[in-house]
Amino acid sequence: MIGVEQLRKGVIFKLDNDLYRVLEYEHRKQGRGGATIRVKARNLRSGATIEKTFPNGNKVEDIRLEHANVQYLYNDGHFYYFMDVETYEQIMLTEANLGDMANYLIDGLEIKVETYEGKPISIELPKTVDLKVVEAEPGFAGDTANAPSKSCTTETGLKVAVPLFVQAGDTIRVNTETGQYSTRV
């Protein structure tokens, strides 16, 4: 058991027999009243997102997951397939299990799959992923008065704001935690 004040982004906890991963965390202290902890969390089994407020001092069950190195193979529209690099066993996850993380999966990417009680429930992405730009808005010279960026679409369908010099066919590095452009590769 851990106190709710220890919940931070990425922490996994058990509540009402469901596993949740914290997406956002906020600690609120108002005047004379007690502090409250507000979290936005994703259910690791169903993919549903909830917002929950806990009074300070409450406790939730802390969960430890097992990790295995896997390589992303492909998706068939319903399932995403991974191969364990040690046993060559194939592992399937649904889009609900992955959520937005599916936007960062490219063929051959080595990641970690997280399992609980022998069942795969989620993946752990690297900090950055290199993605190829398939479509980019045109950037016009002198168009730097406001935010000098434009939108582009990557090979996985992810839309990213990039600098004006990025063109279709370029490869960019994207931060998987924030979804923001890091650099051109």
Tens-digit pLDDT profile for residues 28-52? 887 777 788 899 998 887 778 899 9
CATH number at residue 52: 2.30.30.30
CATH number at residue 158: 2.40.50.140
Q: Which of 124, 154, 174 is the last residue of a domain?
A: 124
Same domain, 71 and 91: yes
Same domain, 58 and 7: yes
Q: Which of 29, 46, 62 is the last residue of a domain?
A: 62
Same domain, 32 and 44: yes
Please give the Cα distance from 179 to 128 (Å, whole number).
9
Entry pTM = 0.77
Number of helices and strands (H, E) in the chain? 1, 16
Per-residue model confidence as pLDDT tens for the chain (185 residues): 888 888 888 888 998 888 888 888 898 887 777 788 899 998 887 778 899 998 888 899 888 889 999 999 999 988 999 999 999 999 999 888 888 888 999 999 999 998 888 888 888 899 999 999 999 888 766 656 666 788 999 999 999 999 888 899 999 999 998 889 999 98
Cross-strand bridge partners of residue 133: 154
Same domain, 111 and 82: yes
Same domain, 42 and 82: no
Q: Which of 124, 144, 170 is the last residue of a domain?
A: 124
Same domain, 70 and 119: yes
Same domain, 71 and 98: yes
Q: How many structural domains does the chain have?
A: 3
Structural domain for 95, as ranges: 66-124
Helix-strand-coil split of the chain, %, nearest 5: 5, 55, 40
